[in-house]
Amino acid sequence: MKVTLLSIVVLFWSFAECSNPHPLDPLTPSEINLVQTIVQKAYPTSHNLTFNYVGLDEPDKLKVLSWDSSNPKPEPKPKPKPPPPPPRRAFVMVRSQKQSHEITVDLSKRSIVSTKVYQGNGYPPLTAGEIEEATQLPLNHEPFKESLRKRGLNDVSQVQCVAFTLGWYGEAKTRRIVKIKCHYRNGTVNFYARPVEGVEMVVDIDDMKIVGYNDRYVVALPKAEGTEYRASKLKPPSAPKPKQDHGPGFTIDGHSVSWDSWDFHVGYDSRAGPIISLASYYDVQRKKHRTVLYKGFISELFVPYQDPTEEWYYKTFFDGGEYGLGRFMSPLKASTDCPSDASFINAYYASSDGTPVEIPNAFCIFEKYAGGIMWRHTEAAIPNELITETRSEKTLVVRTVSTVANYDYITDWEFTPSGSIKSVVGLTGILALKATNYTNTEEIKKDIYGTLVADNTIGVNHDHFFTYSLDFDVDGVANSFVKYNFETVRVKDRSIPRKSYWTVVSETAKTEADARINLGSKPTELLVVNPNKKTKQGNKIGYRLIPGPMAHPLLVGDDFPQIRGAFTDYDVWVTPYNKSEKWVAGLYVDRSRGDDTLAVWSRRNRRIENRDIVMWYTMGFRHVPCQEEFPIMPTLSGGFELRPTNFFERNPILETK
Amino acid sequence: MKVTLLSIVVLFWSFAECSNPHPLDPLTPSEINLVQTIVQKAYPTSHNLTFNYVGLDEPDKLKVLSWDSSNPKPEPKPKPKPPPPPPRRAFVMVRSQKQSHEITVDLSKRSIVSTKVYQGNGYPPLTAGEIEEATQLPLNHEPFKESLRKRGLNDVSQVQCVAFTLGWYGEAKTRRIVKIKCHYRNGTVNFYARPVEGVEMVVDIDDMKIVGYNDRYVVALPKAEGTEYRASKLKPPSAPKPKQDHGPGFTIDGHSVSWDSWDFHVGYDSRAGPIISLASYYDVQRKKHRTVLYKGFISELFVPYQDPTEEWYYKTFFDGGEYGLGRFMSPLKASTDCPSDASFINAYYASSDGTPVEIPNAFCIFEKYAGGIMWRHTEAAIPNELITETRSEKTLVVRTVSTVANYDYITDWEFTPSGSIKSVVGLTGILALKATNYTNTEEIKKDIYGTLVADNTIGVNHDHFFTYSLDFDVDGVANSFVKYNFETVRVKDRSIPRKSYWTVVSETAKTEADARINLGSKPTELLVVNPNKKTKQGNKIGYRLIPGPMAHPLLVGDDFPQIRGAFTDYDVWVTPYNKSEKWVAGLYVDRSRGDDTLAVWSRRNRRIENRDIVMWYTMGFRHVPCQEEFPIMPTLSGGFELRPTNFFERNPILETK
C-alpha cells in the first residue's frame, strides 16, 4: 500500500517536471521519492532510517562542461534539442542503527551504486524532523516542568524549545547529542526574546531522549512587551509627518529636504560640491527631532598618478582645492543619470569675473527602491502558525556628479528609514591616458606605470582618496570618539572546555593623537557617542562608521605629493570643531606646500573628549586600469555607512508597514 | 550703465528666490552678483580681478544651531514663519595684481567686512575661465604648431588642450603656473584617448602666457577608432539574444537563466542553499559565450558566539553543515521580499523519512533598477558641443533567504551587464538573546559578553563568517591565481623631483601555500587569470576579487571551535579543483573535530598554477549587538564583487543604449 502510494506520487511528479533536465538541476520531488524508495528497499524494515542529506551527486565537471559546450545557448530560437545529460545520481546520507551511511543512487538505473558506513568523526546535518522531535521532549520531562514551576511559568503550551548543535570540545568519544534551551512564548511570537535562562538539556538524537539536565541558576524572564514585530499586532505611533498620497514622499523647501523621519539641508559649494547639513531624525518614541550630523562633505579628493617620468610625475591632483568638485558638477538628466521621477535643484557658482553661472539640475533627489529588505523574519517553529514579516526598503538619495576633466565622480548621499546615512561614490568617465608606441605587452621591457589598454594607449596607475569631513552632532553637540577594541581573552574557568573568546575593550579618545586610525591594522569598531546621554538601558548613544574601500597611501612620507596630501596618512582622524579647519589640504591648495593640512592642524593634539568633534575619513581606491575601462569606464562603486548604534531605544522602523 | 544692468539682474533674481532663506543655503545668483558688484567697487578698475572662489561664509555653528532649534520642522502644516536667519555673508578669494585676496562681504549690509592679502604658500582654485584661456594659448604658439607639424597633425582646430595643476616639488619660490598638455581630437570627441605625448607647456596663469615649452619625444598618436562613446555614433553589434518587448528581460528554462549577456544555472542544495553554476557571458566582440564561474556557493557559515559561560560557550554554529542553509530557506513573498514583478522557483529537500518537502517560491529572480549609472561622461570642453552620455544600470538578482532559527540571511547573487558578479548578504531577523537580571548598564560590574539591548536581555557578541566556494573558469578551465603586490619604488632619476611612486609586482601562486591571504595585511589586488589566453594587447585575461567586509577570527588557533572552523584562518585560499572538496568544514560537521576542513586539505600544498582552481573566500561580520537590533534587526549588508579585468578587449557595454 505504502509503495503504491509512493509510486503514484512519483508518476504525478514526473509528469509535471521539466523535460530537458540540466545535469546540475537539483533533485526533483520525484527523484527524491525515488531515492527514498530505493534506499528504503535496501535496508531491513526494522531499521529506522533518517535521511540526513539527499542531494544531487554531481556529474564530473568535465562531463558537465562537455555537455554544456554541446548544449546550445538560447539563441537563436527555437532551441534545438540538447544532448542527453550525464546519468542522474543522488548522494544520500542516512543515519541508521547509530551509524552514518553514505549511499550513491543511480536514478536512471533506479539502483544503488555504492554504500559506505562512515567511521570517522562527526555526524551529518540534523534534519528538520529530528530538531522538531528533540524540541518536543522537554514538554513531557518532569525535571523541566519542575524548573518551569520554580520560575512561575505554568503554561507548558507556551514553551518553545530550540535545539543547538554543541560542537566538540576535546572529548575523546562523542555521541550524536544536541543541547536544548527553551523559551516562554506567552504573550509574544518572538520567543527568542524570552529565554528561560539557566536551564539546558542534552538530547541524544539517535535515541531521541533527554540524557542530560541542568538547572543551574534562575534569572528574570524578559518581558513580552516590546518584542512583537507583526504589523497586525502593532499600533504604530503617529508618523512624524504627513505622507503624501501622490508624488514623491519627500518635500524640498529651498534647500531643505524632509523625508520619512529625516530632515536635512543640501548645500552647495564650488569647491566641495554637495554639503549635507543639520541631518536630524524624528524619533517617534521620544517625539523629537534628534541631531545626527551637523555637516558632511568631501573636503578633498586627492588623485596621485604613479608615473615618475618627466611629463607625468607632477600629476598628483587635488580635485577639490585645485579645480573644484562643485564648480565642475554636471547637469543631470532624468531617466539616465537619475530616475525619471527625481526632483532637481540647480547650483550657482561665480565665474572668473564674478558673474553667477548656473548648473541646471546639478542635484537630483529621489526615492530609491532597489528591491531591498529593511528587515524580515520567517517564524516556522510555532505550532499552527507560519509568520513571515518583511518590510521592503525605500531610501532617499541625493546625487551629484562632478566631472573633473576626464573623470566623472558620482556622489550619492543616501538616507535610510532605519537611521543610517550612507555615502557612495562611483568612479566613471574616461581614464587619464598616455600615448606610447607599444601595441602589445610583449614589446614592453620596462615598467610602463600602468596598463596597455588599447593600441598605443596606457591607462596610468593612480589612487583616488576621498577625504570626508563628518561633523557629527550625535544627539547634541558634545560628542566623544570611541574605539571598540576587540581583544582575545583566554578562558580561565577550568570547568569550561572552551579556551578563548573575544571581548570589547572600549577606549574613549582623549586627544587627537588617540584618534588617528589606520583601518585594518587592528580589529576595531569606531563610534561617535554622546557621553552626556544614555539610553534607558544605560548604553551610550552613538553612531558607528562602517568603512568603505581602503587604500593606504604608498608614497614615501617625505615625498612632496604626500606632504601635501598628508591628510591621507591615516584613514580616520578626529579634531575638535574649528570653523577655520574645513579643507584638509589647506585653503590654498594649488602649489601648496602642505603647511595647512589636517596633519598640521592635528599636531596640536587638542582634547577631543566630550567636545564638538569632527571626523575626517578617507575612502581610498587603488586603481590599476584595465582594458574594460577603455574608451569609457564602467562605474566602480564604494561607500561607507554611518549607522545608529544604541542611538535608539529599539528598532526605529518596527512599526513601519 | 554696467551697474544699472547688474542691479536689474539682482532685482530679477531676488524676486525669483526663496523667501525663507536657510542660513546654510548656498549663495544665490543675486547674492553672487552682489558680491561681484561690491568687490569690484572696492578695487581700482585698472586691477584685473579674478574671482577664484565665492562661497557662503557660514555663520557660526552655534548661531546656526540656535536658529535651527527655533525653526520648526515641517510638522504640523502650515509651517509657521521661521525666525530670521543670521546675517548672510560671502567668503571670496580673488586674485589681482599677482596677489591672493580674501574678502568677507556682508550681503545684508552690502559692504565689505574684512579683507586680507594672503602671503603664504599656495594659490586659490583655478577658475573655469582661467583654464579655458590657458588651454587656448597653445593654438597660437609657434613652437607647438611646429611640434604638431613634426607629428603630421595639421589641423589646429582639432587640438584640445588640458591644464594640469603641477603641485610643488620643493621649489623655494613658486609661481602660479600650470602645465598644458594637448590632444588631437580629429575623428573622436574622446580626446583624452589621443594625447600628443611628449609635448608639454607651462603657462603662467597670472600673466596668462606660455612661459615654458618642452617637446621631448615623439610617440604614436593613438587611433581614433574605438574611442567613440556616443550612442548616436555607434553601430551596436547585434545583441546576444532577442530582448523581450514585454515582461521580464530574462528567461528561465527549468533552472537555467538567460539575461542580457549572461547565462547561468541556479542550483539548490539542502546544505548550501543556492548554487550558481556555469555562468558565462556572451561576448559580442568575439561572438561567443565565455565562461567565468563554474560554480559559486556558500560552503559554510560559521557563527561563533563569544560568551564563555556554561550555557553559552558551546554555541559556535556551522549553519551550513549542522543545519542546512538550503533546508531552512524561507518562502519569499512578492512585493516585500522581492519586487512585485519577480519570478520564483521552488525548492525541494528530503525530510527525515526521505519524502520530498517543497519550499514554494524559494528563489526569486528579478531585474533590479536602483537608479544606478552603468557609465557616464559629460564633455563640456569641446567648442560648441556639450556631450552627456549616460547609461542607466539594470542588473539581475537571484535572491534566497535562509532562516536558521532566529537569524534571516538574505543572499543575493547579482549579475551586471558589464560582466561583474556580485554576492551580497544581508543579516536580519532576531538576535540570539540571553536573559539576565540586569536592566541598566550601571548594575553591570563584569563582562556580560554582549550588549544589554532591553530590560533583562543581552544580545550576545558573535561573528558571521560566510565562506564562499568560487570555482572560477575564466575563459576556460585552466586558471592561475595572481597577486598584484603594490610596492613603493624610490625614483632614481635625479632629474625628477618626485621621490616615489607605487608599482605592480605581479606574483603567480605556484602552490596552495602561496595563495593563503589575510586581506588588509599588505596592499594587494587578487586576480584569477587564464594564463593560456591573452587579450589583443597581450594582457592576461582575468577576473579580480573586490572583497567585502572583513573580520579575522579572534579565537586562539588551538581552541576547539577554531580548529573546526580553521578554514577562516585565512580570508582567501586557493586549491586545485577536487570534486570531493566541497564543504570547508568537512562532510560531517556536527561534532566534527576539524580533521576534514579546507585547512587540512590544503596542507598538501598542491600545485595550483595553470590548473582548474577553486578560490575559497570568507566575508566576515563582527557583531556587537545594539539596541536598534531589538526586537528585530534592521538589515546589515555586505558584499563582494568579481569584476572582469582584461577579460574583455574593451568596455563590453559601450554599445548599450
* pLDDT > 90? residue B83: no
Question: Is B491 within the bounds of a domain?
Answer: no
pLDDT tens figures, A431-440: 999 999 999 9
pLDDT at res. B80: 62
DSSP structure class, residue A154: -
Question: Is A389 within the bounds of a domain?
Answer: no
Across the interface, of A220, A354, A405, the residue whose CB is closest to B40 is A354
Centre a 10 Å sphere on the Cβ of residue A639 and count the other Cβ atoms it contains: 19
- In angstroms, what is the C-alpha Rg of chain A? 32
pLDDT band, very low/low/confident/very high, at A69 (cuts 50, 70, 90): confident
> In the β-sheet with A177-184, what is the strand arrangement from edge to edge?
A159-165, A177-184, A199-204, A209-215
State how far the Cα of A560 lies from the Cα of A594, in Å rounded to an integer.
Answer: 8
Contacts of A484 (CB under 8 A, 6+ apart): A504, A505, A506, A507, A524, A525, A526, A527, B624
For strands A262-269 and A273-283, give the pairing. Answer: antiparallel
* pLDDT > 50? residue B599: yes
Rounded to an integer, the average pLDDT of B450-469 is: 98
B454 part of contact set with chain A, CB < 8 Å? yes
* pLDDT > 80? residue A419: yes
CA distance B33 to chain A (A): 6
Task: Check CB contact under 8 Å for B351 and A559.
Answer: no
pLDDT band, very low/low/confident/very high, at A348 (cuts 50, 70, 90): very high
Across the interface, of B18, B174, B270, the residue whose CB is closest to A55 is B270
pLDDT band, very low/low/confident/very high, at B229 (cuts 50, 70, 90): very high
- Select from B498, B597, B623 the residue whose CB has the most chain A CBs within 10 Å, as the one to mutate to test that interface: B498
Catalytic residues of B: 319, 407
Per the residue annotation, which of A57, A206, A283, A319 is the catalytic one? A319
pLDDT at res. B3: 33
Task: Check CB contact under 8 Å for B624 and A525.
Answer: yes
pLDDT tens figures, B132-189: 999 999 999 999 999 999 999 999 999 999 999 999 999 999 999 999 999 999 999 9
pLDDT at res. B344: 98
Please count the residues of chain B: 657
Across the interface, of B229, B428, B588, the residue whose CB is closest to A121 is B588
State how far the Cα of B320 lies from the Cα of B584, in Å rounded to an integer.
Answer: 10
* pLDDT > 70? residue A6: no
Question: Is B233 within the bounds of a domain?
Answer: no
State how far the Cα of B145 lies from the Cα of B155, in Å rounded to an integer.
Answer: 10
State how far the Cα of A497 lies from the Cα of B487, in Å rounded to an integer.
Answer: 45
The closest alpha carbon to A54, from A68, A75, A72, A40, belongs to A40
Q: What is the CATH number of the domain that holds B22?
A: 3.10.450.40
* pLDDT > 80? residue A114: yes
Shared domain check, B201 and B267:
no
Question: Is B242 within the bounds of a domain?
Answer: no
Catalytic residue status for A484: no
A41 part of contact set with chain B, CB < 8 Å? no
Per-residue buried b or exposed e for B545-579, using 16+ beta carbons within 10 Å of the residue's own CB: bbbbbbbbbbbeeebbbbbbbbbbbbbbbbbbbee
A551 part of contact set with chain B, CB < 8 Å? yes
Please report the residues numbered 2 through 31 in chain B whose beta carbons come closer than 8 angstroms to any beta carbon of chain A: 18, 20-22, 24-29
pLDDT at res. B16: 40
Question: Is A550 within the bounds of a domain?
Answer: yes
Please report the residues numbered 368 through 427 in chain B whose beta carbons come closer than 8 angstroms to any beta carbon of chain A: 368-378, 380-381, 388-393, 397, 399, 401, 403, 405-406, 408, 410, 416, 418-419, 426
> A278's torsion region: left (phi>0), alpha (psi -120 to 50) or beta?
left
Q: What is the CATH number of the domain that holds A405?
A: 2.70.98.20
| B627 within 8 A of A646, measured Cβ to Cβ | yes
State how far the Cα of A382 lies from the Cα of A379, in Å rounded to an integer.
Answer: 7
Task: Check CB contact under 8 Å for B35 and A323.
Answer: no
DSSP structure class, residue B273: E
CA distance B8 to chain A (A): 13
End-of-domain residue from the set B191, B215, B239:
B215
CA distance B549 to chain A (A): 9
pLDDT tens figures, B290-340: 999 999 999 999 999 999 999 999 999 999 999 999 999 999 999 999 999
pLDDT at res. A232: 87
B35 part of contact set with chain A, CB < 8 Å? yes
pLDDT at res. B125: 96
Per the residue annotation, which of A268, A294, A323, A407 is the catalytic one? A407
State how far the Cα of A106 lies from the Cα of A104, in Å rounded to an integer.
Answer: 7
Shared domain check, B186 and B69:
no
pLDDT at res. B79: 57
Question: Which residues on B lie below 8 Å from A147 (Cβ)?
Answer: none
* pLDDT > 50? residue B6: no
| B199 within 8 A of B144, measured Cβ to Cβ | yes
Task: Check CB contact under 8 Å for A537 and B226.
Answer: no
* pLDDT > 90? residue B420: yes
State how far the Cα of A422 lies from the Cα of A412, in Å rounded to an integer.
Answer: 8
Shared domain check, B338 and B191:
no
pLDDT at res. B71: 76
Please report the residues numbered 476 through 495 in chain A whose beta carbons come closer than 8 angstroms to any beta carbon of chain B: 477, 484, 486-491, 493, 495
Shared domain check, B197 and B265:
no
State how far the Cα of A388 lies from the Cα of B113, in Å rounded to an integer.
Answer: 63
- Select from A314, A409, A458, A471 the residue whose CB has the most chain B CBs within 10 Å, as the one to mutate to test that interface: A314
Rounded to an integer, the average pLDDT of B29-43 is: 95
pLDDT tens figures, A233-277: 887 665 554 444 456 799 999 999 999 999 999 999 999 999 999
Cis amide prior to A652 (ω within 30 degrees): no
Q: List for chain A the helix, strand, coil content (%; round to 5).
A: 15, 40, 45
State how far the Cα of A620 lies from the Cα of A616, in Å rounded to an integer.
Answer: 13
State how far the Cα of B546 lies from the Cα of B548, in Å rounded to an integer.
Answer: 7
| A200 within 8 A of A135, measured Cβ to Cβ | no
Amino acid letter for position B310: E
Average pLDDT for chain A = 93
**Whole domain around residue B46: which residue ranges?**
2-118
Task: Check CB contact under 8 Å for B168 and A626.
Answer: no
Amino acid letter for position A210: I
State how far the Cα of A502 lies from the Cα of A484, in Å rounded to an integer.
Answer: 12
End-of-domain residue from the set B200, B215, B230:
B215
Q: Which residue of A has its CA nearest to B325?
A: A125
Instruction: Name the grid cell of A20.
Output: 530537458
pLDDT at res. A17: 47
pLDDT at res. B246: 53
Question: In this predicted structure, which of A364-368, B240-244, B245-249 has the lowest mean pLDDT?
Answer: B240-244
State how far the Cα of A416 lies from the Cα of A372, in Å rounded to an integer.
Answer: 11
Shared domain check, B360 and B256:
yes
Please count the residues of chain A: 657
Across the interface, of B24, B267, B433, the residue whose CB is closest to A277 is B24
Shared domain check, A135 and A102:
no
> A482's torsion region: left (phi>0), alpha (psi -120 to 50) or beta?
beta
Task: Check CB contact under 8 Å for A591 and B168.
Answer: yes
Q: Which residue of B has its CA nearest to A61?
A: B579
Shared domain check, B399 and B376:
yes
pLDDT at res. A2: 34
Question: Which residues on A lie below 8 Å from B645 (Cβ)?
Answer: 626, 628
Helix H segments across B558-619? 560-564, 598-601
CB pairs under 8 A between A and B: 827
- Compute CA distances A136 → A49, A141, A216, whole Å: 20, 9, 21
State how far the Cα of B24 lies from the Cα of A290, in Å rounded to an integer.
Answer: 19
Rounded to an integer, the average pLDDT of B72-98 is: 79
Q: What is the number of alpha carbons within 13 Å of residue B545 lying toward its C-beta?
A: 29
Place of cell 505550532: A383
CA distance A226 to chain B (A): 7
State how far the Cα of A618 lies from the Cα of A470, in Å rounded to an integer.
Answer: 11
- Compute CA distances B90 → B9, B12, B36, whole Å: 18, 20, 11
Question: Is A388 within the bounds of a domain?
Answer: no
A121 part of contact set with chain B, CB < 8 Å? yes
Per-residue buried b or exposed e for B458-476, using 16+ beta carbons within 10 Å of the residue's own CB: bbbbbbbbbbbbbbbbbbe
* pLDDT > 90? residue A199: yes
Contacts of A317 (CB under 8 A, 6+ apart): A302, A303, A304, A305, A323, A404, B164, B165
Rounded to an integer, the average pLDDT of B256-280 is: 97
Angle at B463 between CA B461 and CA B464, to 5 degrees: 140
| A464 within 8 A of A305, measured Cβ to Cβ | no
State how far the Cα of A178 lies from the Cα of B405, in Å rounded to an integer.
Answer: 15
Shared domain check, A542 and A458:
yes
DSSP structure class, residue A435: E
The closest alpha carbon to A292, from A413, A394, A391, belongs to A413
Task: Check CB contact under 8 Å for A564 and B488.
Answer: no
| A348 within 8 A of B27, measured Cβ to Cβ | yes
State how far the Cα of B401 lies from the Cα of A624, in Å rounded to an integer.
Answer: 36
A50 part of contact set with chain B, CB < 8 Å? yes
Place of cell 607647438: B144
- Total tally of structural domains belonging to chain B: 3
Quote ipTM for the complex: 0.95
Shared domain check, A578 and A454:
yes
Centre a 10 Å sphere on the Cβ of residue B87 and count the other Cβ atoms it contains: 14
B464 part of contact set with chain A, CB < 8 Å? no
State how far the Cα of B12 lies from the Cα of B20, in Å rounded to an integer.
Answer: 17
Shared domain check, A471 and A398:
yes
Rounded to an integer, the average pLDDT of B432-451 is: 98
Question: Is B505 within the bounds of a domain?
Answer: no
State how far the Cα of B439 lies from the Cα of A103, in Å rounded to an integer.
Answer: 53
* pLDDT > 80? residue A360: yes
Question: Is B484 within the bounds of a domain?
Answer: no
| A559 within 8 A of B498, measured Cβ to Cβ | yes
Residue A611 CB-density burial (10 A; 0-12 exposed, 13-18 middle, 19+ buried): middle
Helix H segments across A283-400? none
State how far the Cα of A323 lies from the Cα of A321, in Å rounded to an integer.
Answer: 6
B358 part of contact set with chain A, CB < 8 Å? yes
Shared domain check, A532 and A615:
yes
A141 part of contact set with chain B, CB < 8 Å? no
Shared domain check, A525 and A447:
yes
Task: Check CB contact under 8 Å for A222 and B435.
Answer: yes
pLDDT at res. B7: 34
> B25's torsion region: left (phi>0), alpha (psi -120 to 50) or beta?
beta
| B537 within 8 A of A627, measured Cβ to Cβ | yes
Task: Check CB contact under 8 Å for B51 and A123.
Answer: no
Across the interface, of B228, B371, B408, the residue whose CB is closest to A338 is B371
Strand partners, A485: A505, A524
End-of-domain residue from the set A92, A118, A144:
A118
